[in-house]
């Protein structure tokens, strides 16, 4: 074994330099050229950071589009899913409560219209998106809360639909809500 | 939904498109022919020289193992020391604490053996120092160890009698300089330009649009996520792994990460064929692996896109599939695809939470790890498959009444004994571990550990059992994914899975290398009309049957208690 320990230790040191110092340094340099300079892309309103582009936010007020339920309440200091199994009775009860609460806040919406993602927690707890169908359901509520015509909000929503050639079509909740605030 | 299926097909197609030429290039480099990597030679020569390594010195299989085990021992000690002292060291902008000795034991081993089971969350359980200099470092070198080991097998299967099987240090160094570093750099660049952070700044705090004060964890994640996938490691920068929107910002990065984790395992399969001048042999292996992959993938895709039957009763709209634990930007079809890719390859990163997968999907994910040879991890996937190959040759040899031969070499009692032992090791570790934890859960619920056994499980009934079964399966397959509801950061899980990890990494490397070394020393018998050819599709069916019998059947009772029982309670 001794014959191998010395070259093994030396080679480990070389690889530490190569894979950690040089590689991470290079990537950090490359990252400087990217949008946000490698610190994460922020969204600004009136020169103030109101969030990170990729990170979803908690919206509970009636005048905003709501995102998905989150196991970490959208605090990105951590990240986690609920890890609830599909047959867990406690979990099914929670989903039922979310459905009931959604129906109360959206008179006129039938439960057959509620997309599953609006009552199920995301994997990271930070999912920034909802589906187009989930956004459309909320237009009437937001129009009422903001005392504007639903048509205006609908137009804004249509502009914020991210159509993807592959993968699901998406609505970015935070960006849409920032645009909502500038509407009035 | 059609767009989602299209995305999956495109991802798989692109993976092959990258893997095939990579395989051919690896074979050319191993043969010593002109290759695209020759420009790396000066750097490699410099490394050998500064480490006092003679690259021309040839090693026997035993010398290879001694080198491999020595360097792994150094890494373990180094990683353990840094992890238990990280809290008082530099490069810790978030002020995270040191790991407890049992957690550090588990973490050090887990990354050493390319498993990446994580009993901590990256945001709070590590510092930037350990993320970069322990975790990412081990992700590079453990992948390179696997590749170096499989190169020994390549050398041994050539058609000449020899015990000169190349040089471990050279294989190891070249795996990093030629494959892992350059491709990681490309992947990290792609991630950086799609929004993954690269700088060393700590947590940021801001007031959200609605007025909540929240924080966001950051750090040089892009560089790590690249090697995490390329090296089939799987341990994420953030707790939520590749579901995290900074770790996997969009559908494009999701494709990049999916492709990154399969290219080396698939490339190595084809490299073997090019290297031995037996391309049909590789095609048969690839066909068997792909068939196994599809058998696991299709039921999972159907289950996940179909939605949760328990939620069907509430009457909500599940056209998008079962969305608990999934991210909308990937969708159910792609999340299903990822969950199978990550379990057949020993990556273990996730882009959806497997604890919330449908029971059918859980069964398929478990089977992916139980067989552990459909593509498989960096290098070790092919070594695992080699064991099945030896057993299949032996059984079919007995069936036709001839001496079993593999690529012109007789398989005899000694090789067969090793293969059989390695083949039963995997079920033994998984089932014994699960039995032990179930026993403790039932009989010692109030044991005074960091997490008492009574509160280990996040879900009741069969799904709770699946959580324990999954943990040992993941450990023994060196996979690293988990049903993360399991309360695993306590002395029982840290030590028991740590030991399983050690055994299930090194014995399945030692076994196949020993067989390879023994075979390389045997007389080469040219194939005749009477030889049972190992590069025929008939033989492929034989291998598939062996895998089915050994893996699937050994685990059937355990699967019945977990996912299958849950399935029947749901439908």
ipTM score of complex: 0.96
Break chain A into its structural domains and give their ranges.
1-39, 42-183
For B307-332, write each residue's pLDDT tens digit: 999 999 999 999 999 999 999 999 99
Tell me what the mean pLDDT of segment B97-116 comes to: 96
Predicted confidence (pLDDT) at residue A90 exceeds the cutoff of 90: yes
Express as a percent the part of chain B with pLDDT over 70: 100
Q: What is the mean pLDDT of chain B?
A: 94
Contact assignment for A82 to B353 by CB distance below 8 Å: yes
Tell me what the mean pLDDT of segment B233-240 comes to: 94
Predicted confidence (pLDDT) at residue A2 exceeds the cutoff of 80: no
Predicted confidence (pLDDT) at residue B529 exceeds the cutoff of 80: no
Predicted confidence at residue B290, as pLDDT, reads 97
For B45-76, write each residue's pLDDT tens digit: 999 999 999 999 999 999 999 999 999 999 99
Predicted confidence at residue A44, as pLDDT, reads 94
In 10 A of CB B468, how many CB atoms? Answer: 24
Predicted confidence (pLDDT) at residue A184 exceeds the cutoff of 70: no
Chain B nearest CA to A102, separation (Å): 11
Chain A nearest CA to B47, separation (Å): 7
Smallest CA–CA distance from A33 into chain B, residue: B193
**Tokens standing for residue A130:** 């909802």
Chain A nearest CA to B272, separation (Å): 27
Name B121's Cβ contacts closer than 8 Å, sequence gap at least 6.
Answer: A78, A79, A80, B238, B239
Contact assignment for B75 to A12 by CB distance below 8 Å: yes
Chain A residues lying within 8 Å of B351, measured CB to CB: 123
Predicted confidence (pLDDT) at residue B7 exceeds the cutoff of 90: yes
- Counting other chains too, the contacts that A70-74 makes at CB distance below 8 Å and 24 or more residues apart are A70/A121, A70/A122, A70/A125, A70/A126, A70/A127, A71/A121, A71/A125, A72/A125, A72/A126, A73/A125, A74/A125, A74/A126, A74/B208, A74/B212, A74/B214
In chain B, positions 439-478, which contact chain A (CB-CB < 8 Å)? Answer: 458-464, 466
Alpha helices in B126-195 (DSSP H): 128-130, 137-156, 168-174, 181-192
Predicted confidence at residue B35, as pLDDT, reads 87
Predicted confidence at residue B540, as pLDDT, reads 95
**Tokens standing for residue B511:** 């076994």
- Collapsed DSSP state (helix, strand, coil) of residue B459: coil
Which domain does B532 fall in, by range?
2-570
In chain B, positions 126-145, which contact chain A (CB-CB < 8 Å)? Answer: 132-133, 136-137, 140-141
Tell me what the mean pLDDT of segment B334-343 comes to: 97
For B424-435, write each residue's pLDDT tens digit: 999 999 999 999
Predicted confidence (pLDDT) at residue B1 exceeds the cutoff of 80: no
**8 A C-beta contact, residue B159 and residue B522:** no
**8 A C-beta contact, residue B456 and residue B447:** no
Predicted confidence (pLDDT) at residue B124 exceeds the cutoff of 90: yes
Tell me what the mean pLDDT of segment B498-521 comes to: 95
Predicted confidence at residue B341, as pLDDT, reads 97
CB of B167 within 8 Å of any CB in chain A? no
Q: How many domains does chain B have?
A: 1
Q: Report the first-to-last Cα separation within chain A, whole angstroms.
A: 75
User: For B59, left (φ over 0), alpha (ψ -120 to 50), or beta?
Assistant: beta
Alpha-carbon span B329 to B319, nearest angstrom: 15
Name the pairing type of β-strands B409-410 and A170-172: unpaired
Flag the least confident range among A1-5, B69-73, B125-129, B376-380: A1-5
Alpha-carbon span B551 to B556, nearest angstrom: 9
Alpha-carbon span B153 to B68, nearest angstrom: 14
């Amino acid at each position: 074994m001794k014959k191998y320990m010395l070259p093994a230790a030396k080679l480990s040191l070389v690889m530490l330099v190569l894979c950690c110092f040089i590689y991470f340094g290079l990537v950090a340099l490359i990252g400087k050229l990217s949008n946000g300079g490698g610190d994460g892309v922020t969204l600004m309103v009136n020169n103030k950071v109101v969030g990170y582009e990729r990170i979803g936010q908690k919206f509970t007020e009636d005048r905003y589009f709501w995102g998905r339920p989150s196991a970490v309440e959208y605090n990105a200091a951590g990240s986690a899913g609920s890890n609830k199994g599909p047959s867990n009775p406690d979990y099914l009860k929670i989903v039922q409560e979310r459905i009931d609460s959604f129906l109360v806040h959206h008179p006129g919406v039938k439960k057959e219209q509620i997309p599953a993602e609006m009552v199920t927690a995301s994997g990271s707890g930070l999912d920034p998106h909802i589906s187009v169908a989930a956004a459309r359901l909320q237009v009437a509520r937001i129009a009422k809360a903001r005392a504007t015509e639903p048509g205006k909000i609908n137009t804004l929503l249509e502009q914020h639909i991210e159509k993807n050639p592959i993968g699901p079509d998406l609505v970015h909740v935070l960006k849409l809500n920032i645009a909502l605030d500038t509407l009035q | 939904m059609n767009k989602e299926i299209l995305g999956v097909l495109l991802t798989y197609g692109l993976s092959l498109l990258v893997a095939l030429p990579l395989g051919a290039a690896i074979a050319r480099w191993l043969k010593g022919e002109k290759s695209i990597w020759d420009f790396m030679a000066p750097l490699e020569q410099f490394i050998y020289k500064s480490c006092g390594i003679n690259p021309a010195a040839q090693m026997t299989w035993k010398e290879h193992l001694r080198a491999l085990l020595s360097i792994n021992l150094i890494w373990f000690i180094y990683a353990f020391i840094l992890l238990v002292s990280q809290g008082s060291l530099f490069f810790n902008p978030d002020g995270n604490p040191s790991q407890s000795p049992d957690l550090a034991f588990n973490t050090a081993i887990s990354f050493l053996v390319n498993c990446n089971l994580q009993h901590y969350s990256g945001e709070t359980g590590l510092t930037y120092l350990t993320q970069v200099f322990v975790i990412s470092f081990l992700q590079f070198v453990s992948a390179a160890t696997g590749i170096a080991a499989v190169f020994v097998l390549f050398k041994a299967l050539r058609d000449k009698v020899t015990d000169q099987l190349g040089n471990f240090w050279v294989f190891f160094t070249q795996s990093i300089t030629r494959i892992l570093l350059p491709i990681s750099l490309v992947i990290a660049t792609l991630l950086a330009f799609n929004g993954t952070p690269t700088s060393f700044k700590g947590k940021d705090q801001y007031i959200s649009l609605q007025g909540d004060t929240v924080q966001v964890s950051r750090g040089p994640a892009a560089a790590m996520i690249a090697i995490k996938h390329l090296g089939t490691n799987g341990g994420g920068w953030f707790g939520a792994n590749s579901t995290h929107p900074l770790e996997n910002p969009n559908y494009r990065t999701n494709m990049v990460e999916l492709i990154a984790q399969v290219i080396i395992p698939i490339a190595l399969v084809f490299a073997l064929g090019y290297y031995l001048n037996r391309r049909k042999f590789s095609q048969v292996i690839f066909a068997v692996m792909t068939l196994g992959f599809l058998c696991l993938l299709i039921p999972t895709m159907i289950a996940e896109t179909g939605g949760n039957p328990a939620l069907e009763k509430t009457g909500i709209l599940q056209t998008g599939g079962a969305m608990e634990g999934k991210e909308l930007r990937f969708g159910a079809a792609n999340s299903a695809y990822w969950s199978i890719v990550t379990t057949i390859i020993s990556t273990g990163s996730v882009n959806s939470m497997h604890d919330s997968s449908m029971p059918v999907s859980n069964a398929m994910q478990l089977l992916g790890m139980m067989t552990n040879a459909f593509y498989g991890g960096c290098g070790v996937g092919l070594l695992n498959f080699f064991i099945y190959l030896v057993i299949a040759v032996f059984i079919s040899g007995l069936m036709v009444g001839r001496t079993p031969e593999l690529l012109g070499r007789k398989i005899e009692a000694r090789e067969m004994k090793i293969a059989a032992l390695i083949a039963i090791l995997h079920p033994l570790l998984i089932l014994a571990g699960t039995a032990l934890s179930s026993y403790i859960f039932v009989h010692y619920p109030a044991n005074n550990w960091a997490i008492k056994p009574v509160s280990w499980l996040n879900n009741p009934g069969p799904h709770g059992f699946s959580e324990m079964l999954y943990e040992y399966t993941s450990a023994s397959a060196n996979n690293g994914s988990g049903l993360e509801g399991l309360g695993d950061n306590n002395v029982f899980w840290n030590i028991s899975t740590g030991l399983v990890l050690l055994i299930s990494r090194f014995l399945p490397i030692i076994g196949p290398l020993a067989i390879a070394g023994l075979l390389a020393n045997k007389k080469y018998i040219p194939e005749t009309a009477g030889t049972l050819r190992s590069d025929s599709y008939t033989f492929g069916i034989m291998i598939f049957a062996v895998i089915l019998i050994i893996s699937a059947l050994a685990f059937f009772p355990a699967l019945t208690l977990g996912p299958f029982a849950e399935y029947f309670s749901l439908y």
